[in-house]
Amino acid sequence: MLFGHVSAQVRARDVDLGPPAQRALFGLLALYAPAAAPYGAIVATLWPDDPPRSARATVQKYVQRLRAAIGPECPPRQRGHVLRTCGDTYALTIARERVDVSRFRARFAHVAALRAARDPAYETALADVIEHAYEPVALDVPLLSGSPRVLGVKAEQAKLVDWYADLRIAAGRADEVVGLVREQAALRPLDEDSQARLIAVYRQIGCRSAAVDVYLSARRHLSDLLGLDPGPELEDAYRSVLA
């Protein structure tokens, strides 16, 4: 429903969710489902810069159109139950398990709990969910890209990738995740964990000069942009290369 493209089905029939802003509203409601989405979050998503005076009327119009799109299988009263008015806002009252992103977040929480408990089942659970770490969220609805809920999903996906890479490195199989770790480090140039992980990968596969370059680049970014020196983890990774 939200991984890849925003979509919905009613009784195996694809629902036409309408133009981008209307699709963004549906996607946001799905991210909060079955709870109501705060009205402020709806406005901030649909109009990130300056909401018009007609914002409430426009949202109401989108809701009416979405309710109509749910039919004709659903009677009008049932449409109002599925997309319910809750005070000044709205809720998509479908089970959380029916939203793919919600299912992913539940599985992520399970993996995180196993990892924190050092449970032997952690590695298997991670392998079962890692494929979802590479799926884009609401790719066809740019308005959702800045939503805190979407950013939260992306952060969890990044953690899964990091944890998977750590397992491969610990197993002496860094060669399997070189490209993956390099990509994550490029996306997060100020994240010391990511840079230290890339240094560890290069060290393990015998690319000492590349590992040193990563450290020097990370140190320069930290100094120029944040006025900081490298932290203990990055320094330890660098010293391991020198050793």
Question: What pLDDT, on a 0 to 100 scale, did the predictor assign at position 13?
Answer: 85
Question: What pLDDT, on a 0 to 100 scale, did the predictor assign at position 183?
Answer: 92
3-state secondary structure of 160: helix
The yes-or-no verdict on residue 238 having pLDDT over 80 is: yes
pLDDT over 90, % of the chain: 87
Question: What pLDDT, on a 0 to 100 scale, did the predictor assign at position 78?
Answer: 56
Question: What pLDDT, on a 0 to 100 scale, did the predictor assign at position 81?
Answer: 76
CA 25 to chain centre: 18
Q: Which residue has the higher pLDDT, 231 or 80?
A: 231
Question: What pLDDT, on a 0 to 100 scale, did the predictor assign at position 205?
Answer: 96
138 contacts 150 by C-beta, under 8 angstroms:
yes
**pLDDT tens digits for 137-160?**
998 999 999 999 999 999 999 999
Confidence tier at 76 by pLDDT (50, 70, 90): low
Question: What pLDDT, on a 0 to 100 scale, did the predictor assign at position 82?
Answer: 86
CATH 1.10.10.10 in the chain is located at: 1-171
Mean pLDDT of 31-54: 95
Confidence tier at 10 by pLDDT (50, 70, 90): confident
CATH 1.25.40.10 in the chain is located at: 173-243
- Averaged confidence pLDDT in the chain: 92
User: Which residue in 88, 64, 92, 86 sits closest to 76, CA to CA?
Assistant: 64
Between the alpha carbon of residue 131 and those of residues 3, 134, 161, 193, 200, the distances in Å are 12, 6, 9, 22, 23
The yes-or-no verdict on residue 61 having pLDDT over 90 is: yes
At the top level of CATH, the class of 1-171 is mainly alpha
Task: Note the CATH number of domain 173-243.
Answer: 1.25.40.10
Interatomic CA distance for residues 16 and 180, integer angstroms: 36
Cβ neighbours of residue 137 under 8 Å, at least 6 residues apart?
Answer: 2, 3, 101, 144, 150, 153, 154
**DSSP E strands, 87-126:** 89-92
Cβ neighbours of residue 192 under 8 Å, at least 6 residues apart?
Answer: 218, 222, 230, 231, 233, 234
**pLDDT tens digits for 147-199?**
999 999 999 999 999 999 999 999 999 999 999 999 999 999 999 999 999 99
Cβ neighbours of residue 147 under 8 Å, at least 6 residues apart?
Answer: 28, 31, 41, 45
37 contacts 90 by C-beta, under 8 angstroms:
yes
Mean pLDDT of 105-130: 96
Question: What pLDDT, on a 0 to 100 scale, did the predictor assign at position 98?
Answer: 92
Confidence tier at 60 by pLDDT (50, 70, 90): very high
3-state secondary structure of 90: strand
Mean pLDDT of 197-202: 96
